[in-house]
Amino acid sequence: MLKISDAAHFRRTVAGLSLIAAPVLFAAAEILTPQPSGSAAAQLASFAQQRDQLLAGVLCGLASSMLFVPALFGLLQQIRNKGMVYAHLAAAMIIYGLVAGAALGGINVMFWVMTKPGMNRGAMASLLDGLEHGSAALGAPLLAGHYLFALGIVLLGIAAWRAHLVPRWAAILVALFPVADVALSPVGDISSLVSDAIGIAGFAALGLHLLAMPDREWDTTPAADALPAAAPQPSSA
């Protein structure tokens, strides 16, 4: 299926498969990663009870971040003309969000190590308490990454719509992906399940569209919007 020697085929296939897999792994990371609350000691106790689940969530999150990159650039290959500015803004925001997400994954790995059997639980709780209450300068950029990633996904859906990238209903689902999560947040954990399902459906439709696209179409630059003809210049005497 992957013809490494054929650049157009290889890039199109990787982009299409990544569009399908990235949101699935993103959803898996959200579902698997524990979200404990309460004191530092209570959070560590919760992490200790779900160490395997925490590690699986971290790995799914990192894999999702890696696959969103070829997925994003695969869409940028096809989004031109009216959607170009939106797509470029979306790319900058999404990449920032992916980097911030990878940093948060590293923090979760630290939690996984801190709950290793034999570790001094009291010392680890003190360390976690210090991190939570004395690292606002680090937490703000990471939190900003979460919101920028969501806004970037919305802009990416708008870009796909404006560029007439078919199926256009998939572009609507991509834009609704983070919007649904915010709109349904009052109802609890179900908001993530619904929004993830919307995102998976939207990105999968775009991925299947790329996989079904002929290689020659992938390499063809869409025609630019027609420009008004320039007025003829008077000839000099």
pLDDT digits (tens, 9 = 90+) for 129-181: 766 666 556 677 888 898 999 999 999 999 999 988 878 899 999 999 999 98
Query: Stretch 34-38: mean pLDDT, rounded?
Result: 79
How far apart are alpha carbons 8 and 213 in whole angstroms?
Answer: 11
Structure tokens at 13: 């296939």
What residues does each domain of the chain span? 7-215
Mean pLDDT lowest for which of 58-67, 99-108, 150-159? Answer: 99-108
Give the pLDDT confidence score for residue 226 in this predicted structure: 41
- For residue 221, pLDDT over 50 is answered with yes
In sequence order, what are the residues at sequence separation of 6 or more whose Cβ sits closer than 8 angstroms to the Cβ of residue 78?
Answer: 163, 165, 210, 218, 222
Cβ atoms 194, 184 nearer than 8 A: yes
Q: Which residue has the higher pLDDT, 42 or 93?
A: 93
Classify burial at 45, counting beta carbons within 10 Å of its beta carbon; exposed 0-12, middle 13-18, buried 19 or more: middle
Structure tokens at 87: 């797509």
- For residue 216, pLDDT over 50 is answered with yes
How far apart are alpha carbons 93 and 26 in whole angstroms?
Answer: 17
Q: Which residue has the higher pLDDT, 217 or 234?
A: 217
Q: How confident is the model at residue 224 (pLDDT cuts 50, 70, 90)?
A: very low
The 10s digit of each residue's pLDDT in 42-57 is: 888 888 888 899 899 9
129: nearest Cα among 43, 34, 33, 35: 43
100: nearest Cα among 151, 129, 67, 139: 139
Model's pTM, two decimal places? 0.83
The interaxial angle of helices 84-114 and 40-49, nearest 10 deg, is: 90
The 10s digit of each residue's pLDDT in 189-207 is: 788 899 999 999 999 999 9
Query: Stretch 4-24: mean pLDDT, rounded?
Result: 89
Say how many C-beta atoms besides its own lie within 10 A of residue 22's C-beta.
Answer: 26
Give the pLDDT confidence score for residue 7 in this predicted structure: 78
Mean pLDDT of the chain: 84
Cβ atoms 109, 116 nearer than 8 A: no
Query: Stretch 64-80: mean pLDDT, rounded?
Result: 92
How far apart are alpha carbons 169 and 32 in whole angstroms?
Answer: 29
How far apart are alpha carbons 195 and 179 in whole angstroms?
Answer: 8
